[in-house]
Amino acid sequence: MVRIENISYKPVAVRDLLVEMKDISELMIDLAYSAALFHSRELAEDVLELEEHVDTLAYLLDMNAMLAARDAEDAEALVGVSVVAAAANKISDAAADIAAIVLQEIGIHPIVREAFHRVEEQLVRVQVQSRSILIGRKLGDLQLAARIGVDVIAIRREKEWLINPQENEIVGNEDVLVARGAPMGIEEFQKLAQGTIQKLED
């Protein structure tokens, strides 16, 4: 059964809702495959939480699309939006299915793990600790991509998700950072977030 967050109608641009659905569903695929690869329950739980949010966005999109259609011509123009939104929702459902494999302890066949390991870039989820030098600094100033080959693709701040955070986003204590990069860079990034490395090399 699909669980929808308790929501009430609010006017939001259909385009903005569609973009957010697309961004979240793309992130979910990355998180789900990484959850399967590393058998991470935390990543799998993140995927299921995001799936509920995508369901809510789809609900809001449908309401706003219906209210935006003033005549048959408008309705016809919005059909394409509904189709794309439904596709994004299906992608999120597929990611949730992968996450469920981890949470239900079904197990991943070694052949699947081997295929995942061949991916050059890896994904990591790490919580920023109080001693981390990342705290209070803007992502753009850190220049993680140039220095260690790692990109922060999402930030979870309590119950809020920031997808594709901007360069002026400031890292906070206990933020959960989701990043993508090469294995060596990922390892260094984890240590920076945990505070075991206290210097970011230029």
Identify the pLDDT of residue 1.
39
Task: State how far the Cα of 127 lies from the Cα of 148, in Å rounded to an integer.
Answer: 18
Identify the pLDDT of residue 38.
80
Which superfamily does CATH assign the domain made up of 120-194 to? Regulator of K+ conductance, C-terminal domain (3.30.70.1450)
Identify the pLDDT of residue 202.
64
Identify the pLDDT of residue 77.
72
First to last CA, the chain: 50
CB 31 within 8 A of CB 95: yes
Domain 14-103 has CATH 1.20.58.220: yes
Average pLDDT across the chain, whole number: 86
Identify the pLDDT of residue 62.
86
Identify the pLDDT of residue 39.
83
Identify the pLDDT of residue 4.
46
Of 99 and 66, the one with more pLDDT: 99
Task: State how far the Cα of 148 lies from the Cα of 167, in Å rounded to an integer.
Answer: 16
Task: State how far the Cα of 73 lies from the Cα of 54, in Å rounded to an integer.
Answer: 27
Identify the pLDDT of residue 2.
44
125-153 exposure pattern, b = at least 16 Cβ within 10 A, e = fewer: bbebeeebbbbeeebeebebeeebbbbbb
- Look-up: residue for tokens 């059964």? 1
pLDDT average, residue stretch 45-50: 94
- What pLDDT band is residue 157 in, cutting at 50, 70 and 90? very high
Q: What is the pLDDT of residues 105-151, one digit of tens each?
A: 776 667 766 666 666 678 889 999 999 999 999 999 999 999 999 99
Q: What is the pLDDT of residues 169-199, one digit of tens each?
A: 999 999 999 999 988 899 999 999 999 988 8
Task: State how far the Cα of 77 lies from the Cα of 58, in Å rounded to an integer.
Answer: 17
CB 189 within 8 A of CB 164: no
Q: What is the pLDDT of residues 76-102, one digit of tens each?
A: 777 888 889 999 999 999 999 999 988
Task: State how far the Cα of 146 lies from the Cα of 33, in Å rounded to an integer.
Answer: 25
For the chain, the domains span 14-103, 120-194
pLDDT average, residue stretch 69-76: 74
The percentage of the chain sitting over the pLDDT mark of 90, rounded to a whole number, equals 57
**Burial grade of 159 (CB within 10 A; 0-12, 13-18, 19 or more):** exposed
Q: What is the pLDDT of residues 3-39, one digit of tens each?
A: 445 666 677 888 899 999 999 999 999 999 888 888 8
Domains 14-103 and 120-194 share a fold: no
Interstrand relation of 176-181 and 150-157 (parallel, antiparallel or unpaired) = antiparallel
Is 0.85 topped by the overall pTM? no
CB-CB neighbours of 20 under 10 Å: 19
Identify the pLDDT of residue 81.
85
Q: In what order do the strands lie in the sheet with 122-127?
A: 122-127, 176-181, 150-157, 160-163
